[in-house]
Structure 1
């Protein structure tokens, strides 16, 4: 039994747990009306995310998926941070799951000459807004996103992080 979750690259063996975690947080915790059918990328993670400068990671605690994060290559040395979800019990300073996931993704991006990371999030995720801002992301407007950024219908807040 580890004291903290470990972060590893996604593999298909994690698919069911990834889908369950993300849907539970979206639907039950935040009452967002989104289904697995609205998110076909969850069923093609390797092809959709694990290509180019992109990747997908899971945080595991006692081999259970307790968090996810991904970077989607959107071209021009830019990536979209997507699917960052952490089980409620593993949020905060005790486990530092969100920080472990974000640091893994940002180190990956730096190692692949990514110039900037963009993300969209929903107005409900107030703790996520604070987390991103605390970690150096700056709030931007929709029209400041790269043209290749995949804006989701639920996304109303946008952030940018410039890597140097």
Structure 2
């Protein structure tokens, strides 16, 4: 569990499934991106299989006992000791407070502590704030986008 200002960042629990999915779906629709429960977002509906059983983590961010964001990663087959940061979304009311940067830093620490050495992130150009966050924190643009709604992929070596 982590704390940032008045936010609690904790491990996902089964009771969070619907609310976490709702946060992600809401942010996607805000930017005109599709919610894809059969494709890009199937992991959100099956956290146990995609994250917990593979050695990843899925966090929810709470503010006043409401879920206002998510952040996660899981191991992937893109080189040795690689993970992908996924589902890092914050509702509009909690953006601009440094929370995204803090989350990214905590994810990187957790990933490094588990012995991973390479982090991948896929995103969409329309998510301007996310692109800026990744680029200003040492993520390098590369090629090989695998998610249909994404058009950018980044990598960072720890």
TM-score (norm 1): 0.85
Aligned positions, number? 152
Displacement of 1:67 in angstroms is 1.1
| Counterparts of residues 55-74 of structure 1 (less than 5 Å) | 55-74=57-76
Structure 1, unaligned runs of 5 or more: 146-150
Equivalent residue in structure 2 for 1:8, among 2, 7, 10: 10
Displacement of 1:88 in angstroms is 0.6
Contact map agreement 1:139 1:159 (CA 8 A) in 2: yes
Q: 1:74 to 1:35 in 2, by over 3 A?
A: closer
Contact map agreement 1:7 1:104 (CA 8 A) in 2: no
**Alignment deviations for residues 105-150 of structure 1 (CA, whole Å, 9 cap, x no partner):** 11110101111100111121111110111111111122xx7xxxxx
Equivalent residue in structure 2 for 1:24, among 15, 23, 26: 26
**Structure 1 segments of 4+ aligned residues over 2 angstroms from their partners:** 33-39
Q: 1 or 2 for the larger relative contact order (CA 8 Å, sep ≥6)?
A: 1
Structure-1 residue corresponding to 2:148 = 153
TM-score (norm 2): 0.88
Displacement of 1:42 in angstroms is 1.4
SS of equivalent residue, structure 1 residue 123: coil
Contact map agreement 2:36 2:42 (CA 8 A) in 1: no
